[in-house]
Structure 1
Amino acid sequence: MGERTGEGQQVEVNLLSSLLSALANRASTHVVTGAVPQAMGNLHPSIAPYEVFATADRPVAIAAANDKLFRLPAEGIERPELVDDPRFASNAGRVAHRAVLTAELEDALTGHGADHWFDLLSSKGVPCGPINDLGKAFELARTLGLDPVHEVPGEDGRAPVPTVSHPISMSRTPATYRTAPPPSPPEETRP
């Protein structure tokens, strides 16, 4: 637009509107019906399995949003009989019997760690991923070729200070890091 008109525009993004928009079907249900959805944790209200499951070491999210995707993790965890179980033959049945299905899946998933299941299931085309703590999240970012930490030069001879990198990459006007945060006060002056 600016190239055609020579005019720019102000862009405003606020966190609350972003959050409401990201709630997608839950927010739309409220807007259309007035019903207030209840907290469900990491469960999808109308798809199963589409949630976080326990493994031997840390949780893994699995999003099997249709019958074909349900078959893949069932086979991957060596529980193909779940697909033929009448309770789980359709998404509606899986949602209605979610607690039983979750117990069946976790029984198999707890036999190995999250990375094992991620490698196995994602290779079959199942949308899934381990739940990372912050250390693993930074490690993953580095593995993906991202630069999640930037060293800001220290002032007055102090060592460089690591800081979380700016999340937006712009080719012509990249983020700059000009000043380090102030040094921490000595222990005896802290509240």
Structure 2
Amino acid sequence: MLLGDLGAEVIKVENPKIGDDTRTWGPPWATNKDPNDRSTPESAYFLSINRNKKSITVNLKSPSGIDIIKDLVKQSDILVENYIPGKLDKMGLGFNELSKINPQLIYASITGYGQTGPYSNNAGYDVVIEAEAGLMYITGEEDGPPVKVGVAITGLYTHGAIMAALISRSKTNLGQRIDCSLIECQVASLANIASNYLISNQEAKRMGTSHPSIVPYQVFPTKDGFIMIGAGNDKQFKILCNIIDRDELMNDPRFATNSDRVLHRKELVSLLEERFKNETTDHWLSLLFDKEIPFGPINNIQRTFEHPQILARGMIQEVDHPKAGKIKLTGIPVKYSKEDLKIRSPPPTLGQHTREILSNLLHYTNEQIAILEENDTSDDEFESNIPRTTETFCKYTKCNT
């Protein structure tokens, strides 16, 4: 999706029978625009991550299906797959085989545990890896159970790796294999928590919204809700004390520096909690606005999408879906000075572009397509890293940026 946002032509290869598993991950569903259409509607989950893509259905268990993939590879810059290591190799679709067809191909593999190591053949879902890689252990309140982080992050690492591989290819004229695993990305995301352990053998603990090395840096209850405060340095702490009319705190030797405040965390947090809960959230927001203090309310999703900044930055876009009609999607978060990035096409229906791709891109004849359609059966017995996963091909030469 990220590559598609930047202008790449993305072809999503799906199981002919049911397609990408996330098509069935509902409710919630997008209501079919035709009241007489009794077919299963599209899931909100699928719609959230499949804009700017074309869908083609291919039976990977048939020789003709393998040939279609190889024909696509000849014209593609990037292949993204997340099968268990070795599965595509057995089908003749591994990196070594496909790089012979297209030496410039960038072949990105996303797996649970990577291509090597004792766990490499294990399937992995993001939430399982969050638990195993320590991220869940540090997420949640100190005296509560561990909880999962809201969304997956591995695609962000893979996207950056692909962009770097494209730069490398521009110099060498050769593609390469990218091995990106959930577990390594999760470990990398531990950031300063990992460093605290590796440098000083300091074990982490759950701290809710607070920060292990900065105080105050957490959520505080107000009279009618909550507010997040992040006073990341001594200057900001002094400004905060002045705003909340607690100047005596900045003169207290226990709170003179950030290091002092970390040592006396409980005392300071208790004093701040007493102050913040005496007034409403809106009261504090009005006082803190434009005062060089990082702050924000705890918004629900409705208030998030009503936020003036979100609206001003175009983070809600409406597209016309062939089955669901007008739907709203999150906008593209990155802005370029020379490009106006927009959602060019809605998430596709299953196999919506199969004939278009086979005919216009691969130049198959109508007779060839008819034979393929007649023989097209499900490949849902094929084991993948995430069952019935998909491949995505990106024609980077058509990118705008």
Tell me the equivalent position of 2:391: none
Aligned residue among 94, 99, 114 for 2:281 = 114
Change (3 A) 1:136 1:47: same
SS at match of 2:306: helix
Shift of 1:18: 4.7
Aligned residue among 315, 319, 337 for 1:147 = 315
After superposition, give the CA deviation of every residue in 1:93-149 in whole Å (9 maximum; x if it has no partner): 322222221121122212333343234224221112222211111122534422334
Q: Which moved more, 1:26-35 or 1:128-137?
A: 26-35
Partner amino acid for 1:25? N
Separation in structure 2 between the aligned mates of residue 177 and residue 12 of structure 1, nearest angstrom: 29
Q: Which moved more, 1:73-82 or 1:6-15?
A: 6-15
**Structure with greater strand share of residues:** 2
Tell me the equivalent position of 1:96: 263
Tell me the equivalent position of 2:344: 176
Does the aligned pair in 1 maintain the 2:315–2:330 contact within 8 Å? Answer: no
Separation in structure 1 between the aligned mates of residue 314 and residue 177 of structure 2, nearest angstrom: 28
After superposition, give the CA deviation of every residue in 1:137-181 in whole Å (9 maximum; x if it has no partner): 1122534422334333242xx542333445456738754333467
User: TM-score when scaled to structure 2?
Assistant: 0.39
Partner amino acid for 1:79? R
Separation in structure 2 between the aligned mates of residue 57 and residue 102 of structure 1, nearest angstrom: 19
Aligned residue among 319, 322, 326 for 1:160 = 326
**Equivalent residue runs for 1:52-131 within 5 Å:** 52-131=219-298
Change (3 A) 1:173 1:136: closer
SS at match of 1:151: strand
Change (3 A) 1:106 1:150: same
CA RMSD of aligned residues (A): 3.2
Separation in structure 2 between the aligned mates of residue 12 and residue 174 of structure 1, nearest angstrom: 30
After superposition, give the CA deviation of every residue in 1:56-109 in whole Å (9 maximum; x if it has no partner): 232222111222111111110011111112222222332222222112112221
Shift of 1:33: 3.9
Q: Which runs of 5+ in 1 are unaligned?
A: 183-191
**Equivalent residue runs for 1:31-70 within 5 Å:** 31-70=198-237
Separation in structure 2 between the aligned mates of residue 150 and residue 17 of structure 1, nearest angstrom: 36
Separation in structure 2 between the aligned mates of residue 173 and residue 14 of structure 1, nearest angstrom: 29
User: TM-score when scaled to structure 1?
Assistant: 0.73
Q: Which runs of 5+ in 2 are unaligned?
A: 1-166, 351-401
Q: Which has the higher contact order (CA 8 A, sep 6+)?
A: 2
The total of aligned residue pairs comes to 180
Identity of aligned residues (%): 32
Does the aligned pair in 2 maintain the 1:61–1:128 contact within 8 Å? Answer: yes
Q: Is 2:206 the counterpart of 1:30?
A: no
